[in-house]
Structure 1
């Protein structure tokens, strides 16, 4: 079994106030220059660059482009609750390998695992459920929650 990705480290990384301020600057605008960030947090451009590199290499943060799936032709998003038998970590690893799955969480409660999927159509979602997810050994049952509208999606919780 593989180890956890660095971005999901079990131990929290302590951050000083300057690193938190850098993260907040990037959350407001991920294209903001190191020079601009430096002015806002009281560091040189080189010092900001070094801190950002350390934060990304340690897995504390990622700098990514967030897209709107609907604008790109992915017209069906859903959350799928999965009940599994056996080692749920093994099932979660197999789910994480599926191209349409963008989020995998081991949970407690009614479901053992919850995944978010992004599909081009309802037909693709049906195929994903029947041919890929339910075909994984130890998947006992699924319950699908189709998104009607995404009301809120923010990524600014990182430094609260």
Structure 2
């Protein structure tokens, strides 16, 4: 799923923020249980969650461990671009093995996270796919050796 942020996001009200906070704590929590906490009906919570997902303010996903699913290699790839960055970011984001793409300021124009089955698969994607994209001037690969922290519950402001 491609995520594009609106440069002028609509501010969320306190009730929507409370619903998000409840789902960050437990993404399987029922609409009825959330409704009790935020003092809304189950139907009203369902409607708000649907709207939050539709507007891109929130995603509801299952976070998995790539190693347990047969993906032995994860890496972050820094990409430098010649010319317009957005078309390259879109092309990188379209690759099945890429699960995260961000346009950055600094040494790299784009950072992309790859989840691959093996080192050979990683090499194939970097050399055969990413470097073949028109506008890619160079890449640097950062192999993941161990995951120490991964969280998606940073709260709401």
Divergent runs of 4+, >4 A: none
The CA deviation at 1:78 is 0.4
* Corresponding position of 2:92: 95
- Structure 1 residue 6 displacement after superposition: 6.2
C-alpha distance 134-7 of structure 1, shift in aligned 2 (>3 A) = closer
- Mapped partners of 2:154, 2:75: distance in 1: 23
Stretches of structure 1 that go unaligned for 5 or more consecutive residues are none
1:116 aligns with 2:113: yes
Counterpart of 2:126 in structure 1 is 129
CA shift digits 1:14-64 (9 cap, x unpaired) = 111111110011111111111100111111111111111111111111111
Select 2:47's aligned residue among 45, 50, 67: 50
Q: Distance in 2 between matches of 1:68 and 1:8?
A: 26
Contact 1:7 1:61 in 2 (8 A): no
Question: CA, structure 1 residues 129+6, in 2 after alignment: closer, same or farther (shift >3 Å)?
Answer: closer
Q: Does 1:38 align with 2:62?
A: no
1:83 and 2:80 aligned: yes
Structure 2 CA distance for aligned equivalents of residues 111 and 129 of structure 1: 15
1:61 matched to which residue of 2?
A: 58
